[in-house]
Structure 1
Amino acid sequence: MSQTSELDQDYPLSEVPPGQRKGIVSTSIVLFGFTFFTATMFAGGKIGLAFDFKTMILAAVAGNFLLGLYAAVLGYIACRSGLNSVLMGRFCFGETGSKLSDFLLGFTQVGWYAWGTATIAIVLVRMLGLSPAWTTPLMVVFGFGFSLTAFVGYKGLDLLSRIAVPAMLVLLLWSLTIATRDAGGLTGLLAIQPKDSMSWHMALTLVFGTFVSGATQATNWTRFARDSKTAVWSSLIGFFIGNGLMIVVGAYGAMVYQQPDVVEVMVLQGLSVAATVMLFLNIWTTQDNTIYNFAAAGCNLVRQDRRGLITLVGAGIGTVLAIGGMSDMLIPFLILLGSIIPPIGGVIMADYFYGRSGRYPQLEGTRLPRFNWVGLSAYAIGAACAYASPWVAPLVGIGVAALSYVVLFEVQRVRLGRESLSGVDA
């Protein structure tokens, strides 16, 4: 067997067969590692500065429950079909039209990869007191180094997560314990008054939007789930609990120390070494998942089963973007993601449950149209409404895209029915 086939047993262009499915521990821990992300804690820090303790907890629970539910529905579809989001895109966007979703999903993931690569290099230079000249070389080292476990595939992601996730949980709980003590216990936490202001819908947008692109592509792992129950529960565990913990940890530190940066919080707590370890593990467990997502989208885009090579190409692009200053673009990037990614999930769900009555045909051997204009039009409407919405943009994008798909699907059904009748009459 060739090296390529050894590396590409993650089925980037086909359904995952029953014999390769994983249990809930494996699936959940990979998703946990994926959602343990520094940017999410940073978003939590912004919320912690703007709300009191009770409101912060309510915002975290509400936002992450919606995020977990979204990931769980897509996870259910992925498990039942064995397909990931980019392969589902062939059905709802068309054989050629799906390249749009391939590009968008790949772009978002390589953007996250660039941000993570830049962030860890910059923070380490600052924390270790190194010369700024070290920043670019470290970006190159981390840019390619983080991709190694993704290059191996699902097994590499699983192994790293089994080591890193428990370690990060211990460090974060340790930090929360110290913060609670420094705040004066629960009484002290409840007495803290916010210094900034933020609307409720903006808080939900931050919580939901920070990782909605990840939830859309979590199908890369939930399609490996042994059964639909495993897919749904692992999605809820990873996104409601895992992402929720990241939001709460970031908000907690911001409330107590008035500092939204969790690494700086841990330094203030006297945990400098732990902060360095936590940052490294935190970013690595997300980086390898992120570049794995890029490779999945890239394989479908070029219709080539070359996951290993595309992983390295993505790492190279991410490294170049990191060197170019991606670390300064987090907030604009999050706003963009909240508009362009959620409608993809909305179209996928509407196409699967409404357009196809909950069942995809086998991908191989199925003739698909070059463009599915119902799906593409529904996506465009959903993305435009999300971008213009003053409310929670990701939720607007999902809902409008799904509803638009249903309406356009019915319009097409009526039109085709009339054309068929006209042909019979003729």
Structure 2
Amino acid sequence: MAMSNAGNDYPLSEVPPEARKGLASLAMVLLGFTFFTATMFAGGKLGVAFGFADLLLVIALGNLLLGLYAAALGHIACRSGLNSVLMGRFAFGERGSKLCDLILGFTQIGWYAWGTATAAVVLGKYFGLEQGAVLALMAVFGLGFCATAYIGYRGLEILSWIAVPAMALLLILSMSVTTAKAGGLAGLLAIQPSSSLDLSTAITLVFGTFVSGATQATNWTRFARSTRVAVLASLIGFFIGNGLMVLIGAYGAIVYQQPDVVEVLMLQGFATAALAMLLLNIWSTQDNTIYNFAVAGCNLVRTDRRKTVTLAGALIGTALAVLGMYDLLVPYLVLLGTVIPPIGGVIVADFWLRHRGRYPLLAEARLPHYNWPGLAAYGLGTIAAFGSPWVAPLVGIGVAALAYGVFNGLTRGRTTAPASL
């Protein structure tokens, strides 16, 4: 049973010391996750709305906030050995945590459908394929992308060590060509924005694009060898990695009026490299995405058969892609980015306020069916995020955390007693 659990990456228990990873391994996996084509479109909207100097400030600030949020959850994940859905059992209760499973799991399966369809459609357009062939490619990609996630953390790491350096070199080359076309740094600074965005909306765009991924990055930071590793890897993945994706999208929009890096690379004469990068880019995010789904699914149905759930999720995502539902899902998934961050706010508050920075062992914890302070705080945080004119994800996190502190203080209840991990 221990060997089986290890092969399935401990979906329902703490990660033991012998399975912990170092900074290079963890940072590479997180970079593979955050190197995501869709993030570049957020950068494209920023690129036409700000001067270059202001643009750099917005990107740095938004991604620093995102990195700090991921690092706060990563710190807890390392100390406890648990991921977000397992932490959700403490924050929301044994049954109440299923809310996290449904929200996080559905979000990831939708993105998996979108990524699978996108890879097939782009290749179909490039090679002039018929619709039937494009649908067949969706089926191939849908099952192929999950192969590394099926293996587990080790599979994600191997792909990331291949994909991340290759993509980074190509993107650096592309940015140098783009900078030369713009007339160097002086040319970039001289370009005037063609539209406008206020600072709050811009930060919301940067922070909100990948905040759902940051909430689930605990699936990997729980493997960190130390809290220092977890925090640094989170900052590398989300501050640097996600920031680079936003910057590249902005570069394309400023100079080529095109935030899609694949289109930019084709305009620069790197067509073959562009297609290879597209597949590596999507694959290195897709396997992380379906891994996230599997972890949430294991907690939802209380099974440690992560590989089976991974395959089932890939089949569902592939079916959604083939049926064309990805066209309808993307706006809805962006909407879900508002309801996911309050989950992280409640988890952080619960860990530090109620558990004093140390969970008991999950197998020994006496958990209620529902932790009402956590559920009420989540609801209040979500309502505040939806109604906020400011940075909605940040408002959701902050209100949920503060509300939990108040509700927990009023109930003064402890459903679990601290124990050493």
The answer to whether the superposition gives a TM-score over 0.5 is yes
Name the structure 2 match of 1:215: 214
8 Å CA contact 2:110, 2:326 repeated in 1:
no
Which structure 2 residue ranges, 5 or more long, are not aligned?
416-421
**Per-residue CA distance 1:38-95 (angstroms, 9 max, x = gap):** 0101111121122221121111101000000000000000000000000000000000
The answer to whether residue 38 in structure 2 is matched with residue 39 in structure 1 is yes
The answer to whether residue 351 in structure 2 is matched with residue 352 in structure 1 is yes
Name the structure 1 match of 2:268: 269
Name the structure 2 match of 1:420: none
Name the structure 1 match of 2:7: 7
Distance 1:65 1:248 in 2: 14
8 Å CA contact 2:48, 2:253 repeated in 1:
yes
* Map 1:7-406 → 2, pairs under 5 A: 7-8=7-8, 10-329=9-328, 332-333=331-332, 335-406=334-405
8 Å CA contact 2:216, 2:292 repeated in 1:
yes
Distance 1:2 1:211 in 2: 34
**DSSP 3-state at the match of 2:368:** coil
Shift of 1:2: 10
8 Å CA contact 2:110, 2:329 repeated in 1:
no
- The TM-score with structure 2 as length reference comes to 0.95
8 Å CA contact 1:338, 1:386 repeated in 2:
no
Name the structure 2 match of 1:419: none
Shift of 1:331: 5.9
Distance 1:135 1:46 in 2: 29
The alpha-carbon distance between structure 1 residues 264 and 137, as it changes in their structure 2 partners (threshold 3 A), is same
The alpha-carbon distance between structure 1 residues 6 and 74, as it changes in their structure 2 partners (threshold 3 A), is closer
Distance 1:239 1:193 in 2: 28
Paired residue total: 415
Shift of 1:333: 3.4
Letter in 1 for 2:349: A
Distance 1:308 1:198 in 2: 44
Distance 1:212 1:331 in 2: 15
8 Å CA contact 1:95, 1:370 repeated in 2:
yes
Letter in 2 for 1:219: T
Deviates more, 1:71-80 or 1:186-195: 186-195
Distance 1:188 1:128 in 2: 36
Distance 1:87 1:132 in 2: 42
Letter in 2 for 1:36: F
Letter in 2 for 1:7: G
Distance 1:19 1:69 in 2: 27
Shift of 1:153: 0.2
Root-mean-square deviation (CA, aligned residues, Å) is 1.7
Shift of 1:194: 1.8
8 Å CA contact 1:209, 1:334 repeated in 2:
no
The alpha-carbon distance between structure 1 residues 40 and 49, as it changes in their structure 2 partners (threshold 3 A), is same
**Per-residue CA distance 1:103-136 (angstroms, 9 max, x = gap):** 1111111111111111111111112222233221
Distance 2:322 2:389 in 1: 34
Distance 1:80 1:254 in 2: 41
Distance 2:314 2:61 in 1: 34
**DSSP 3-state at the match of 1:226:** coil
Name the structure 2 match of 1:422: none
**Per-residue CA distance 1:276-301 (angstroms, 9 max, x = gap):** 01111000000000100100000000
Shift of 1:409: 0.5
Name the structure 2 match of 1:424: none
Which structure 1 residue ranges, 5 or more long, are not aligned?
417-426
8 Å CA contact 1:111, 1:318 repeated in 2:
yes
8 Å CA contact 2:111, 2:330 repeated in 1:
no
8 Å CA contact 2:110, 2:330 repeated in 1:
no
Shift of 1:257: 0.5
The alpha-carbon distance between structure 1 residues 3 and 366, as it changes in their structure 2 partners (threshold 3 A), is closer
Distance 2:120 2:2 in 1: 36
Sequence identity, in percent? Answer: 65
Distance 1:260 1:326 in 2: 24
8 Å CA contact 2:78, 2:222 repeated in 1:
yes
